[in-house]
């Protein structure tokens, strides 16, 4: 049961009543059980709720009478301090927008049962089906160095996600761009609190390279070019360029992907759409690869996963009668060369936290200078080495051709 009993039930009870009216017949009279999810983040509080009907059990047969119940996930705004720091209200706006305007066209997401930006229940909430209990999906047990089977499954499905946007852009242009125009920017804008994070950690990999006596000219040149990483690169990477711009998940990490093995194939479902954005597909692809496949990332591996991604993309486009002329493999390859460092810069500040069991705690967010310093050291020399080797592999692929 929820440990914050009085406060929790004060807002949860009327919410369950509202949800029960949406669930329909058999849920006129219900009881509920609630627990706090261990996956609660600084951006929202997550509650796992089992809504149980008090009506007579369904008579499948006398031996198998069953009580009707529904498992849901309730996402609730965090405290006011975190709301301001992490722009949580804007994040909730984006996720609600996604479910109301886009999810009808893309199926591999949880069903949204209830969400509103006109709160009558004291705080903004989003109510989703619990895909773990209802559909059998679960989180990947690996957070980094994940098996290739999982990476390929993720890339096939994110290709479908991106292709859905390309299709909507062609067939429902006004509807699509009205939706895109309503998305609120959360992290990557000129005055963002993340500016110092990107600038302060971008050259972490050089610590290891210099110790190893690697090419001083290269190190000096890369360090100079990355003095203003946020302004010179990150803001430019997210700038919309047609025709490859698509709807991006925006926070494309393993924590926001759930898996289910079905007929010897990994099925994938995506969650958490608070950071959606319209931009290059490479923003999603490079983030996932640099955070979760860092040791394996080289030219051969990149070729492999990009081919799988592109094959799935084209197949989905063809199923929707969209020609793939604008989305050739050559265009995708060149786009990765131009913007693949985006994920590397994300990994430079976040890979250490991803590889740690503790992670960076929310209290570190209040002091940005301290947060930057901790992030640059998090994971020690092991992470320094991984980042250094990954940088050199990206250099071989051509991702530094546009900046050096």
Q: Containing domain of residue 64, as a range?
A: 5-129
Q: What is the CATH number of the domain that holds 91?
A: 3.30.200.20
**Final residue before a domain boundary, out of 92, 107, 129:** 129
Measure the CA–CA gap between 302 and 400, rounded to whole angstroms.
15
Q: State the total domains in the chain.
A: 2
Residue 404 lies in a domain: no
pLDDT of residue 26: 87
pLDDT of residue 70: 93
pTM: 0.93
Residues 167 and 104 occupy one common structural domain: no
pLDDT of residue 6: 61
Residue 115 lies in a domain: yes
Residues 197 and 344 occupy one common structural domain: yes
pLDDT of residue 166: 97
Residues 287 and 348 occupy one common structural domain: yes
Residue 22 lies in a domain: yes
Sequential pLDDT tens for the chain (404 residues): 444 556 677 888 989 999 999 998 889 899 999 987 765 455 568 899 999 999 877 655 555 567 789 999 999 887 666 667 788 889 999 999 999 999 999 999 999 999 987 655 456 889 999 999 889 999 999 999 999 999 999 999 999 999 999 999 999 999 999 999 999 999 999 999 899 999 999 999 999 999 999 999 999 999 999 999 999 999 999 999 999 999 999 999 999 999 999 988 999 999 999 999 999 999 999 999 999 999 999 999 999 999 999 999 999 999 999 998 999 999 999 999 999 999 999 999 999 999 987 665 544 456 788 889 989 999 999 999 999 999 999 999 999 999 98
Residues 74 and 183 occupy one common structural domain: no
| Mode of pairing for the β-strands spanning 246-248 and 277-279 | antiparallel
- The DSSP line for 183-248 is PPP-S-STT-THHHHHHHHTTHHHHHHHHTT--HHHHHHHHHHTTTHIIIIIHHHTS--TTT-EEE
Residue 402 lies in a domain: no
**Final residue before a domain boundary, out of 129, 163, 193:** 129
Residues 70 and 143 occupy one common structural domain: no
* CB atoms closer than 10 angstroms to residue 246: 23
Measure the CA–CA gap between 111 and 99, rounded to whole angstroms.
8
3-class SS of residue 298:
coil
pLDDT of residue 78: 76
Residues 72 and 158 occupy one common structural domain: no
pLDDT of residue 94: 96
pLDDT of residue 162: 98
Residue 279 lies in a domain: yes
Residues 233 and 257 occupy one common structural domain: yes
Residues 243 and 364 occupy one common structural domain: yes
260 touches 137 (CB < 8 A): yes
Measure the CA–CA gap between 232 and 225, rounded to whole angstroms.
8
Measure the CA–CA gap between 79 and 42, rounded to whole angstroms.
9
């Amino acid at each position: 049961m929820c440990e914050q009993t009085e406060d929790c039930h004060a807002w949860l009870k009327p919410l369950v009543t509202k949800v029960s009216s949406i669930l329909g017949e058999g849920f006129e009279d219900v009881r509920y059980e609630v627990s706090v999810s261990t996956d609660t983040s600084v951006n929202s509080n997550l509650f796992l709720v089992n809504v149980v009907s008090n009506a007579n059990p369904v008579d499948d047969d006398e031996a198998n009478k069953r009580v009707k119940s529904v498992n849901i996930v309730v996402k609730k705004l965090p405290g006011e301090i975190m709301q301001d720091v992490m722009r949580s209200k804007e994040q909730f706006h984006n996720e609600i927008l996604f479910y109301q305007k886009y999810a009808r066209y893309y199926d591999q997401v949880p069903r949204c049962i209830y969400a509103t930006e006109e709160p009558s229940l004291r705080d903004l909430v989003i109510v989703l089906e619990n895909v773990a209990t209802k559909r059998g999906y679960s989180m990947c047990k690996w957070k980094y160095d994940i098996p290739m089977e999982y990476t390929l499954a993720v890339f096939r499905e994110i290709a479908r996600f991106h292709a859905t946007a390309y299709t909507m852009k062609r067939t429902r242009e006004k509807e699509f761009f009205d939706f895109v125009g309503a998305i609120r920017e959360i992290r990557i804008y000129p005055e963002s609190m993340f500016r110092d994070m990107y600038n302060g950690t971008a050259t972490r990999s050089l610590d290891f390279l210099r110790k190893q006596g690697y090419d001083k000219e290269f190190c000096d040149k890369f360090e100079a070019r990355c003095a203003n990483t946020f302004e010179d690169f990150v803001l430019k990477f997210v700038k919309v360029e047609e025709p490859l711009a698509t709807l991006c998940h925006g926070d494309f990490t393993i924590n926001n992907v759930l898996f289910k093995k079905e007929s010897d194939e990994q099925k994938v479902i995506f969650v958490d759409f608070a950071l959606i954005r319209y931009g290059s597909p490479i923003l999603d692809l490079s983030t996932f690869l640099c955070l979760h496949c860092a040791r394996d990332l080289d030219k051969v591996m990149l070729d492999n996963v990009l081919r799988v991604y592109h094959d799935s993309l084209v197949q989905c486009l063809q199923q929707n009668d969209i020609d793939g002329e604008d989305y050739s493999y050559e265009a995708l390859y060149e786009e990765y060369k131009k913007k693949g460092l985006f994920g590397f810069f994300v990994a430079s500040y976040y890979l250490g936290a991803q590889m740690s069991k503790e992670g960076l705690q929310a209290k570190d967010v209040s002091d940005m200078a301290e947060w930057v310093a901790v992030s640059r050291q998090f994971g020690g020399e092991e992470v320094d080495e991984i980042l250094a080797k990954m940088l050199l592999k990206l250099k071989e692929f051509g991702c530094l051709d546009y900046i050096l």
